Amino acid sequence: MKNVVIISFLLFFLVGCKSTPSGIVTSKNEAQKKGIYSTPKTSQTVAKNTTSTTDKKFTEKTKKSRITESADDDYVPDDDNTSYFVKQLISSAMQYEGVRYRGGGTTTGGMDCSGLVSTVFKTFDVSLPRSSNDMSKVGQKLKLKDVKKGDLIFFKTSNRGVINHVGLVTEVRDDEILFIHSSVQRGVIISSTKEAYYQRTFAQANRVLSDEHF
């Protein structure tokens, strides 16, 4: 019986060596045929979107703001050579639009015309006199054709015949100048020199910023 087992073992060994001389399976296909290898059942790994809920909200908000930005009321197209400093100056002044008028006021609780201008310039470390009349004596007087954004525009709105009102130029359109100021009736608003009232009361325009600011 022992001899039969030994002979059977030798025959099995010889047959196995004949079909695979090395005794080692080196091909995946061969292994699959022999039934000693099968394709893993796990699914293929796919990269997932790892954006968190917070990130998605931020992205959606950013996309939305980019789409609607040009429709904002205070949006100013960047289509001229206005310096970054002047743009920031005007942007700061625009933040006060809608604030009510208050004589001597310099805050969002209320402000007068010179209070608006002096507060905005002070934000950028530019000191100006507190009254519009004194402001008109600072800087360089300009011809209307030379006025630029960031300049100051003055008016005589009282019967005394002296400068008593000031605004900050926000835009120049050919023969029209837009300026932000604090109106007694309407508070901080943007007005135009095309308006009859300001055509009649216009006094002068000054450049109080140095050339390096433009």
Sorted by sequence, the CB contacts under 8 Å of residue 118 that are 6+ apart come out as 106, 128, 129, 130, 135
Query: How do 106-107 and 110-111 pair as beta strands?
Result: antiparallel
Does pTM top 0.85 for this prediction?
no
Q: Where are the domains of the chain?
A: 2-34, 79-213
Question: Cα(53)–Cα(17) distance, rounded to whole angstroms?
Answer: 61
Please tell me the distance from the alpha carbon of residue 102 to that of residue 40, in angstroms, as a whole number. Answer: 79
* Of 179, 181, 188, 191, catalytic: 181
Judged against a pLDDT cut of 90, whether residue 124 lies above it is answered with yes
Residue 115 has pLDDT above 90, yes or no: yes
**23 Rama sector, left if φ>0, alpha if ψ -120 to 50, beta otherwise:** left
Supply the pLDDT for residue 99.
Answer: 98
Q: Which range (11-15, 91-95, 116-120, 174-178) has the least confidence?
A: 11-15
Distance (Å, rounded) from C-alpha 205 to C-alpha 140? 8
Q: Which CATH class is domain 79-213?
A: alpha beta
* Active-site residue (options: 113, 180, 188, 208): 113
Question: What is the pLDDT, as a whole number, of residue 71?
Answer: 39
Identify the pLDDT of residue 128: 98
On whether the CB atoms of residues 170 and 100 are closer than 8 A, the answer is no
Is residue 127 within 8 Å of residue 121, measured between CB atoms?
Answer: yes
For 153-197, how does the pLDDT look when each residue is reduced to its tens digit (9 = 90+)? 999 999 999 999 999 999 999 899 999 999 999 999 999 999 999
Verify whether residue 17 is a known catalytic residue: no
As a whole number of angstroms, the distance between CA 31 and CA 53 comes to 46
Identity at 197, one-letter amino acid code? Y
**Closest of 168, 181, 205 to residue 90, by C-alpha:** 168
Give yes or no: 213 in active site.
no
Q: Give the strand order in the sheet containing 165-173.
A: 140-142, 202-207, 152-155, 165-173, 176-183, 187-192
From 165, 169, 172, 198, active-site residue: 165
